[in-house]
Structure 1
Amino acid sequence: MRIEEEIQSTKFEDNYQKAVINITYTHSWLSNNIRGEFDKYNLTMQQFNILRILRGQYPKPATINLLKERMLDKMSDASRIVDRLVQKELVSRCTNTCDRRAVDIRISEQGLEVLSKIDVDFIIKDMISKNLTKEEAGKLSDLLDKLRG
């Protein structure tokens, strides 16, 4: 559906404003759809993002700083998110063997299992492949990269 129909307005200053409004609206639409999937696993999008980063590091641990650098949402508080994942027993904290002041974060077997279930149950490409071809998705991604400069 066109953005004009979604927000019931056709008044835009120009195509630049329309594009920003469309990106913002689409971000919310995508987030709401994804959030519903993660709710089934008692996870937030930020928690899922940290679990994916840790799975990519596995079996090596990660530091909070590494997680902050690689998170999609740069405004998230990685330390608090890790605390919640520790409570859920999806990750563990341990003292760094080289630097006792540093703390290593490692995904647990339970965390790996949850991600495996999500991988099977929720295939992200299914959300957009109904409306975009593989080539269009690639072009969209390239345009978003270009937008960010």
Structure 2
Amino acid sequence: MPLRGSLRILDRAAEVSLVELTLAVFFPLGTATGAVATGLTLRIRRMYLTALEDRAARLEIERDQRIRLTAAVERSRVAREMRDIVGLNLSVMVGRADGAAALAAHRNERSAEAEHPGRHRPPGHGRTTPRPGRAARGAEERAANSAQGP
């Protein structure tokens, strides 16, 4: 049934007020929701970037610490190797000097004191490390045999 007169105006007014109601309620609500969503997104992004910057700083510190630790380990390894090499060479030099002194004493050379100035060592001071190899043992035996005499 078609509406007539004032009812038609009321029907038209109800349609207009429904559109106005929709615009008056839902548009601000949608705008507020969009603003809140945008604000939350920006806040989360800022927090994420801050966390990334903190992580990058921690990783840089860890990298520097790892580099320093690696350098210290390498220095320690080199120091151990140098100590071993110097100790071995010193042991060889002392052995050769003892052998030369024994040989000079066996030959009754006057230069025995000149070749071995460290003859007056305190008791207990001597070789504390064994000489490696068969050649070194042979040199010790020859020195001992030559010291006993013919």
Q: Is the pair's TM-score, using the shorter chain for normalization, greater than 0.5?
A: no
Structure number with higher strand proportion = 1
> TM-score normalised to the size of structure 2?
0.24
> TM-score normalised to the size of structure 1?
0.24
Larger C-alpha radius of gyration, 1 or 2?
2
